[in-house]
Structure 1
Amino acid sequence: MSLLDFEKPIAELESKLEAMKQLARDSDQDVQSAVKALEKKIFELKKETFENLTGWQRVQLSRHPDRPYTLDYIYEITSDFIELFGDRTVADDKAMVGGFGTIEGKTYMLIGQQKGRNTKQRQMRNFGMANPEGYRKALRLMKMAEKFNKPIVTFIDTPGAFPGLEAEERGQGEAIARNLKEMFMLKVPVICIVIGEGASGGALGIAIGDRVLMLQNSWYSVISPENCSTILWRSWEYKEQAAELLRLTAKDMKALGLIDGVINEPIGGAHTDVKWMANEVKKMIITHTKELFDVDPDELIQQRIDKFCRMGVVKE
């Protein structure tokens, strides 16, 4: 398992604990009291460390290579996921995935950005950065869900929309802008969950919903700390300071009224217990869907518009 810098003191104690347990297995020495004391110390250190992470440390955790991605959650929480492909115009964008799946007997449309685990997958998935056809595919699937009166769940995990020349030539800005407009007008419940990185318009392109939730160690901002540092200080060296100033953590977003809730992660992060984390996500989806399905479609749309308008209005 990959270790982040702030996890190394914990890893050292866990290594000592394993050595102590091995000693107990290989000899007659009674070290149970010492083992219990060290286990308690490790638990306390973990709790203290992960409850007091800085903004930059949470950004690091959101990018952990072992962290579950969109398809990991989908396959854990659904019983019969059927992936759908293509935008019916240009191509199928592998950075954006989606399809129908059943959760507790109810059909949902599940859509999200997908990253890769190894070099080959990362290239195929374009590091989770969708092209215009990815956002158009997402919108096509949302419209399909609306047609069949199925709730929509989106999983946000992207460092941003793909900034390449070819993406701009095919209308990246227009594709994202159209998604924003159309998502406001969907007549079915929309639940959006930031599971990792939520950067800029690339994230917002599938994040207009009745409920916007964030995992505890995810982040959501108009720009990444590194790029913010580069713009303001002409150097990446101030990324930690930028992360604090951007107030991009789930706790900050909730305090600012920009999201509706925070989904707690196990101590150590979502990757330490994927099944538990997926079950928590599943419970939140079911809870919010039940609340939203009782609302009249026209009222649902108006509440969605009002919700985002309360975040700030620009007058010209």
Structure 2
Amino acid sequence: MNKQEFGAFLRSRRERLRPEDVGLSSGPRRRTPGLRREEAAVLAHISTEYYVRLEQGRAPRPSGEVLAGIVGALRLTDAEADHLHVLAGTAPMRTRVHRRDVRPSILALLERLPRTAALVMSAAFEVLAWNSLAAALMEDYAEVAPKDRNLARRAFLGPAGPDSTPLYGVFDAGEFRHHVVMELRATLARYPADAAVTGLVDELRDGSPDFARLWERHDVQAAPMLTKTFHHPVVGEITVDCDVLTLTDRDQRLVLYSTPTGSPGAEALALLDVLGAGTDVYVV
């Protein structure tokens, strides 16, 4: 635990808050900026003496419950809460849910990307937005129920049950399933109280022996998938470059399928672009 940095960070977050930010009256005799130490202590449900010792770097490492109280008392953001836990040398207590709203600038980017199939996935593999070329390459997600837009569920349970054909005809379906399990384990660690995440994991463990087997391996390091080959019902076999960009502010993934200029895949993707619905962007 970095006690001095921990105390300095607490002090800086306390001093930026106004009493009215936490429902308190500022009063006529307030001479210091922000909250008083005793006010912060009351809001965090700890003693004033203990809080003062924390700010002065004289207290032992606080428990997870104390840190959770401080996070709420000082109105810390997710990033600030994570930093507080890093300074304390503890793992943060996760209570938030994963985000499903896509940034408008990303939606605009999907529309502008030339000859690129693109989609945005949540941390739980939900397809949140996609362009028309992605719909042509895989499927039009607007035509399926929201539950079936989850790629983890589709990979292990399929659109018609666990014995369905491989995911969109991809040749590396087994590798993708392993990737899904590792990513979902990391997602569950970040959102252990998110019912959508815990429910999905339980559903997959109960419904897919393959998922249950892979889950018990406790693998956490997912290898990057640099290329992917689809067997498309219209254009046949098509190999694309697969790039996944992390949108850190919302814990989402921007997945891009593209091809080198002049390659057979580029010709197939161009044909799909013509057969598709133009440059529309779809959002769930």
Q: TM tier, shorter chain?
A: 0.3 to 0.5
TM-score, with normalisation over the residues of structure 1? 0.31
Which one has the bigger helix percentage?
1
TM-score, with normalisation over the residues of structure 2? 0.33
Q: Which has the higher contact order (CA 8 A, sep 6+)?
A: 2
